[in-house]
């Protein structure tokens, strides 16, 4: 008559975890704990504080119990009244007992982070820089061709044919004339191919193997031919320094590692893209500054004022603003204020600069995508990305 609690007793299945043997046991909830009476007459007492239920069990009408200090023994309860009685007594049924020490977890987490950081920020960029120097020009061209087609397809809103390449002969001839006048050939391992894509984006970029791509939006935005020439000189700077090739090789390495990290959960692609953007940005800011410096020298040699580059940036800043704060870390380019100042500092005050294209050529270049000039009003859209 030791127990004061009103008792609901019953039977359950019990395994002790030594042999694959199931015992039918009689359960007696007491104030100290759950009394388990074995068929052979012996008894076990499970203190309530140590009784745990197994989570996420498929059969809601059953209760499977274990003990925090004995990982093997299990009780399988089916009797609803008995289950209710046990649930009323056992105070820590849902407590989780950690099996992995937190310190061990932290050590390996540190190791994983260190390993990934070393690879993404040291090893892969170092190797990419070395390999980009020795990649044969044909290989570089193939890499550029593959990327070019991917970009055309990705930007095409219809998704069928790829963004059209503007093929007006006079316009392309003007672009070629601009390139000839800048005359960077001595710095380059191969010829440069320049394309204008019929797209609103105010942007231009260089691809591996000497492909330079302008979007129509950038030419529409420019007010003088010199501004376009400044952008061209900047992109030639990237080609000369093999930046696109290095970027492509580095992405191949670091995307694989980042994919490893994030796994295949929904939205993994978005996270992957952002993380890769962050990694790339930290490298390309230096590359952009170098390309700017190259452009200043090239423009100066061709008798064009380096401040044209700054003028283009000012136009963009007036329209889109500058990236500050957090966003700036995701941007692949240095802040525009600094770049405008640099381009103005490169201007030689003692000389007069000429112009890059004749008026006729400039008009032709502006119409490279549309035979009839003065295209429709620009839709104000937020997708537009600021030009490099």
Partner 1 sequence: MPPAVLTISYSGGKGPMLWLALKTGVLTVLTLGFYRFWAKTRLRRYYWSAIRPGGIPLEYVGDPLEKLLGFLVAVVFMAFYIGIMNLLLMYFSFALLQGSVAAYFLSFVGLAPIIFFAQYRARRYILARTRWRGIRFGLDPGAWGFSWRSIVHWLLALVTLGLTWPLTTLWLEKYKAGRTYYGDQRFVQGGRRGLLFGAMKHVYYPVLLSGVGGAMAAFSENPAWFALFVLTTPWLIYGLAYWRAESFKRMTEAKELGVIRFQSSPKPWTIIGIYALGWFLMNLVISGFFLVLLGGLFLLHGNFGIDGADLDQLEDMLVTSVPVLVLAYFGLFLGYRAMAHAWITLPLAAHFAEATRIVNAADLHLIAQRDRDEFAEAEGFAEALDVGAAI
Residues tagged active-site: 235
Choose which of 40, 59, 69, 372 interacts with partner 1 (CB under 8 A): 59
Segment 193-252, which members bind partner 1 (CB under 8 A)?
A: 248-250, 252
- State how far the Cα of 9 lies from the Cα of 260, in Å rounded to an integer: 53
- Spacing of C-alpha 254 from chain mean position: 10
Choose which of 60, 159, 169, 325 interacts with partner 1 (CB under 8 A): 60
Choose which of 44, 131, 297, 347 interacts with partner 1 (CB under 8 A): 131
Q: Which of 230, 177, 235 is nearest to 205 (CA)?
A: 235
Residue with tokens 């330079």: 212
The H or E element containing residue 53 is strand 51-53
Nearer to partner 1, 255 or 281 (CB): 255
Q: What are phi and psi of 381, to 5 degrees?
A: -125, 155
Choose which of 127, 151, 155, 323 interacts with partner 1 (CB under 8 A): 127
Interaction of residue 371 with partner 1, rule CB under 8 A: no
| Tokens linked to 121 | 């920020």
Interaction of residue 22 with partner 1, rule CB under 8 A: yes
Is the Cβ–Cβ distance between 317 and 333 less than 8 Å? no
Nearer to partner 1, 101 or 169 (CB): 101
Nearer to partner 1, 58 or 318 (CB): 58
Nearer to partner 1, 17 or 354 (CB): 17
Is the Cβ–Cβ distance between 171 and 196 less than 8 Å? yes
| Tokens linked to 384 | 């537009």
Nearer to partner 1, 66 or 171 (CB): 66
3-class DSSP assignment, residue 223? coil
Interaction of residue 6 with partner 1, rule CB under 8 A: no
CA atoms within 13 A on the CB side of 147: 22
Q: Minimum CB separation from partner 1 for residue 188, in Å?
A: 19
Q: Minimum CB separation from partner 1 for residue 59, in Å?
A: 4
3-class DSSP assignment, residue 237? helix
Mask: binding to partner 1, 79-118, rule CB under 8 A, as x and -? -------------------xxx---xx--xx-xx--xx--
């Amino acid at each position: 008559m030791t127990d004061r609690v009103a008792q609901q007793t019953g039977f359950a299945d019990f395994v002790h975890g030594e042999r694959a043997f199931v015992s039918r046991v009689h359960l007696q909830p007491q104030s100290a704990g759950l009394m388990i009476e074995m068929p052979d007459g012996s008894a076990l007492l499970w203190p309530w504080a140590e009784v745990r239920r197994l989570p996420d069990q498929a059969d809601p009408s059953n209760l499977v119990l274990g003990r925090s200090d004995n990982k093997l023994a299990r009780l399988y309860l089916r009797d609803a009244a008995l289950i209710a009685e046990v649930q009323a007594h056992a105070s820590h049924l849902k407590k989780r007992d950690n099996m992995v020490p937190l310190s061990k977890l932290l050590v390996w987490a540190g190791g994983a982070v260190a390993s990934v950081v070393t690879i993404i920020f040291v090893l892969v960029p170092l190797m990419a820089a070395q390999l980009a120097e020795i990649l044969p020009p044909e290989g570089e061209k193939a890499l550029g061709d593959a990327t070019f087609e991917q970009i055309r397809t990705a930007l095409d809103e219809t998704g069928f044919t790829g963004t059209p390449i503007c093929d007006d002969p006079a316009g392309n001839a003007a672009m070629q004339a601009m390139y000839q006048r800048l005359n960077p050939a001595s710095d380059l391992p191969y010829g440069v191919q320049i394309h204008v894509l019929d797209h609103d984006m105010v942007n231009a970029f260089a691809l591996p193997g000497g492909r330079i791509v302008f979007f129509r939006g950038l030419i529409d935005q420019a007010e003088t031919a010199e501004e376009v020439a400044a952008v061209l000189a900047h992109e030639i700077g990237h080609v000369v320094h093999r930046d696109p090739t290095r970027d492509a090789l580095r992405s191949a390495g670091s995307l694989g590692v980042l994919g490893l990290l994030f796994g295949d959960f929904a939205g993994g692609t978005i996270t992957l893209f952002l993380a890769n953007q962050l990694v790339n940005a930290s490298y390309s800011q230096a590359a952009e500054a170098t390309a700017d410096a190259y452009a200043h020298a090239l423009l100066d040699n061709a008798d064009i004022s380096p401040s044209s580059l700054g003028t283009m940036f000012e136009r963009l800043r007036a329209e889109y603003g500058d990236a500050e704060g957090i966003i700036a870390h995701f941007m692949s380019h240095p802040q525009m204020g600094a770049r405008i100042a640099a381009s103005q500092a490169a201007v030689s005050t003692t000389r007069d600069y000429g112009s890059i294209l004749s008026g006729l050529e400039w008009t032709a270049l502006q119409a490279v995508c549309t035979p009839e000039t003065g295209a429709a009003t620009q839709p104000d859209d937020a997708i537009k990305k600021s030009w490099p």
